[in-house]
Amino acid sequence: MSDLLEPGRHRAVGLGDDGLWLALLEVERAWLAALVSSGHATDAHLKALTAAIAEGVPLPAPETIESAGSPVVELVRILRAAVGEDAGRHVHRGLTSQDVLDSALMLLAKDALGRADTYLTLTAAALAELARTHRESLMAGRTLTQYAVPITFGLKAAQWLVGVLDARDAIRDCRPDLPAQAGGAAGTRSLLGTLTDAPDAVVDAFAAELGLRSVLPWHTRRTPITRVADVLGEACAAVGVIAGNVLFLGRPEVGEVREGRSAGKGTSSTMPHKANPVLSVLVRSAALQVPPLVGHLHTCSALAVDERPDGAWHAEWPAFTRVLTLTVTALSQTADLVGGLEVDAAAMSRRAQTAAAELLAERGTGTDPADYLGSATAFVDQVLARWDRG
């Protein structure tokens, strides 16, 4: 995807082709390190590979990747040529292409989930401050696009905060479980079994080098991919709700909130006086794009047949990396959006009074919106207590 058509993609630097290539190199290094630790390669072999990687391994030409069907075959050829015949015999020994690529994708996922946690925490802190500040700030509640009973803006911010904290919890549950992949040609570790009586120990060492879990091969059991996509999809949904609300509440005819302003932000090519809510627009865009990608990954998972998939695995790659980059970008943008959000509590109060007059006059009761808040402030306090507990 072109950076020209994905504004903000620089926020996810390292999760695209450049980051994937580095992750592939790290997987090959970690595997050789595991072979060394188990006595099936030497320190000299590992030093040769480490030096070759440090010198820089350029991305292969697209046509060579197409010829093999994945980038790993060309990666192995390049590395073996770089380290010489002796060390080259041990590079990639006992692995298959899917092992390397799947493990590399898990490294990218680990990075993306870590960044997502950071951005969600920043967003949560800003939302907690909004909820605390506006705990009793009256605003019109709206259901099915129409005025309903009054609420407070603190409650709205607190509900956004719950969504963000739930998404962060899901990410924190997922991140420690990311697995390495090491099954060999058909998921049996057959070649590795000819090298050692303890193949699981080699895989354990390999996973530890990468900071991933050692598990059974998962070539056609794609839960690790779909689980990451699911939690990132949840995060995108949470911030999509925030962006959608800000877009509505920021309309000139509503005017209850506004994105923070800065020089050059939100400018129009034809109407210089405008200040478009660009962060909200971009976050909403990501929230619309990610769910179909998550669904696509579940479809690929269901079609992962035999011992190695014939196309379903390949169809995961662009969708999975798009989920990573779109989500990290959107969460970073949301942290900026919420951190700079301007709230017009007076405008909210005026509209709450108008809405209350229309709705409550029919009941023959008073029209003070504060009399109809129910448990709104108590709910805010509950959410803030959760945030304060950490």
Question: What secondary structure letter does DSSP report for 179?
Answer: B
Kindly name the residue from 67, 262, 268, 375 that is annotated as catalytic.
268
Label the pairing between strands 151-152 and 146-147. Answer: unpaired
Residues in the chain: 390
- 8 Å CB contact between 362 and 140: no
Among the listed residues 175, 308, 350, 386, the single catalytic one is 308
Distance separating alpha carbons of residues 266 and 109, to the nearest angstrom: 31
Contact residues for 289 (Cβ-Cβ < 8 A; gap 6+): 322, 326
Q: Is the dihedral of CA 354, 355, 356, 357 positive or negative?
A: positive
Is 308 catalytic? The answer is yes
Beta carbons of 282 and 330 less than 8 angstroms apart = yes
Active site residue 350: no
- Alpha-carbon span 71 to 78, nearest angstrom: 11
The DSSP letter of residue 175 is: G
3-state secondary structure 15-80: CCHHHHHHHHHHHHHHHHHHHHHCCCCCHHHHHHHHHHHHHCCCCCCHHHHHHHCCHHHHHHHHHH
Q: How far apart are CA 363 and CA 276, in angstroms?
A: 41
- Which residues participate in catalysis according to the annotation? 268, 308
